[in-house]
Structure 1
């Protein structure tokens, strides 16, 4: 159950990353900034200000949105320049969390983060209760993703992938739509980061802003099919469970090398990912 909870955390971040990449057309290497900021905001507000944990989860998403607002100037950049600029912001936030000791506790971190509450006799702080919480969060975010994709905003965003200049001629404000996707993706990631902080009960900068919050969600999204809604979630569950249950037992150190090789094989044989591959096979069989 712990592995499934962790896989769904990765899946939630992968879904938010895929939303930005698929609809917004932007590849981000800095989603660890939103995970860390969301976790710290929720942890500090609940542990020191006494806010309820559900409110802390939402405010963690709001904190991540404010962090994304600071990043809005990089929307002028495209391609690898945007990705590297977002990565630089993630490092800046990690340094701030480390050096701002009066608020964040510095390298010592924040201990005693309140667990998820007990409601109607159900302990959501346990592994099974936390599973239902993160599953609900991920399902709600997947529904939001689907609604945005099916709207006329989603149509405009997909049209921008072919020709952003042409869509601007038609009156589409591409910068505004990209900013909206960045803020929405940040909110989703911040809520998941806040959940993770309450789930583990401790937070420190090197973990909150770790590179794994970038690499694993990207691998999961691409492996499962980042242009689909269910692909990032499926990819996160398959990739994380394979890595922890199979590859780690084969190679205790450096087991993620096998994960990288598996991703290469998937890209070569099914560039669109695992979910489209399974869908095509099912349709062919039918």
Structure 2
């Protein structure tokens, strides 16, 4: 625990101060960093659902899209300030997840496919309700992140600080849930759901709670993205990439660890954009699949556990 606290104390000033100092003047690099943290936030929400809830979801794009549209419409049509609208965007995604509760009766791939179907339904609804969502033409001129104390949060550096703060808050929330009684019950449920029911644990309620929390997190990330790019259209907001890439990132980094999804997202996205995209401009994301397969073969637990294991070995050798 002391080692983790020390790492957090060192990481905080590095992330909040050093990154803007190093890359603040490089708009392209800052865009990549913001995009990687956006994917990392979704990956963290997916990992929470998979690790604690025991559910593999292919529908994070549904929560992302609902949160995006909810926040954008609240600011465009009702004049709500951006940050309250973002919070309500997360609430909107959480409410939308309630429509998916019947899918909790399903298990394994059946649950994953059912959630994927919901994502497609939301995309179709966003396309059809043109009077509200703008249809396939989308929404433009979405209000950007505001100025706070004279600092423009709508800038690349400002957007970075906002998404970083959101991700840090989500990591802390995930940590609290995992160490709570509910986290203990969820982990026990993975071993034997029937046994936990015998001792009075309502497994369905716990799963539903994790689905709602995961949806809220993803919805808020979607809301942030809407105000960061100032434009939305259904195929983008509900695109499969908001599901596939976070899953790759979470598994690559180690979805059973707290920081694995974030480390995986930054590593996978930055490597893809800075290296693979230059080597193979078309179809460069196929290499991510190869990279993921290699990680699963050589370190099924993910990158973070692999690095932690190597660090422990070096520490023992020095001792």
TM-score range, shorter chain: over 0.9
Q: Which has the larger radius of gyration?
A: 2
Normalising to structure 2: TM-score of the pair? 0.89
Q: Report the equivalent of 2:18.
A: none
Query: How do residues 1-286 of structure 1 correspond to structure 2 at under 5 angstroms?
Result: 1-286=30-315
SS at match of 1:154: helix
Take 1:55 and 1:152, find their aligned partners in 2: how far apart are those partners?
Answer: 30
Take 1:143 and 1:152, find their aligned partners in 2: how far apart are those partners?
Answer: 16
Divergent runs of 4+, >6 A? none
Take 1:154 and 1:30, find their aligned partners in 2: how far apart are those partners?
Answer: 23
Take 1:258 and 1:208, find their aligned partners in 2: how far apart are those partners?
Answer: 24
Take 1:166 and 1:224, find their aligned partners in 2: how far apart are those partners?
Answer: 31
Cα deviation, residue 48, structure 1: 1.3
Take 1:30 and 1:111, find their aligned partners in 2: how far apart are those partners?
Answer: 25
Take 1:250 and 1:257, find their aligned partners in 2: how far apart are those partners?
Answer: 12
Take 1:230 and 1:154, find their aligned partners in 2: how far apart are those partners?
Answer: 17
Normalising to structure 1: TM-score of the pair? 1.00
RMSD value over aligned CA atoms? Answer: 0.4
Take 1:94 and 1:67, find their aligned partners in 2: how far apart are those partners?
Answer: 13
Aligned pairs, number = 286
Cα deviation, residue 257, structure 1: 1.3
SS at match of 1:48: helix
Q: Which runs of 5+ in 1 are unaligned?
A: none
Take 2:170 and 2:48, find their aligned partners in 1: how far apart are those partners?
Answer: 10
SS at match of 1:214: helix
Q: Report the equivalent of 2:8.
A: none
Q: Which runs of 5+ in 2 are unaligned?
A: 1-29
